[in-house]
Amino acid sequence: MGSPTTNSSTENGATANQRPAAEAVAYQGEPLPNVPEDLVVPGILSLDFEERLWVPQAPDVWFRPILFNVSQGYFVNLLRVRRSGILSRHRHSGPVHATVLKGRWHYLEHDWWATEGSHAFEPPATSTPSKCQMGTPLGVEDVFSKLASAKAHYEKVGLGSDYVDQFIR
């Protein structure tokens, strides 16, 4: 009887130190219930998008939708900022993940900088900047407000409001 490290053949033709030979076969079972379809957005890291795909958010600030998850209440987008400045006071209702493709940014109350190639995580309920007196909110930005902005923008630039449907899950 050979040890587990020998190369003796097994009944499926593989040796003891190799994976069994298997053919690539797509999943054949029933899809899971209530699971959305896959979403693939090609070339998302290319910053040479057609200008019409960037949705205006504020002066010199645009976003490029990647995902609007209306069933779980979150969105994923690229954010393009073309000027220096101070971000208005805001609070996050969910976690924020930010990967910096180009440039850098920071918050006044933190000593860290998110620089090109870095990733920042902000936990839910983060309020920024915390040194400002809290006032009455001027608005709420969530998956539904982002979706409405994108629909209106794409209709205005000739892509049609249904252009965003590809990003909705």
- The per-residue pLDDT for 126 is 61
pLDDT digits (tens, 9 = 90+) for 45-103: 777 778 999 999 989 999 999 999 999 999 999 999 988 877 777 777 888 899 998 89
Contact 4, 17 (CB under 8 A): no
Say which residue the tokens 């053919």 belong to. 23
Cα(76)–Cα(26) distance, integer angstroms: 29
- The per-residue pLDDT for 62 is 94
Question: Does 29 score more than 80 pLDDT?
Answer: yes
Question: Does 8 score more than 60 pLDDT?
Answer: no
Instruction: Answer yes or no: pTM beyond 0.75.
Output: no
Question: Does 6 score more than 70 pLDDT?
Answer: no
pLDDT band at 19 (very low <50, low <70, confident <90, very high): confident
Cα(33)–Cα(169) distance, integer angstroms: 14
- The per-residue pLDDT for 10 is 55
Residues sharing a CB contact under 8 Å with residue 43, sequence separation 6 or more, in sequence order: none
Task: For the chain, give the mean pLDDT.
Answer: 83
- The per-residue pLDDT for 134 is 59
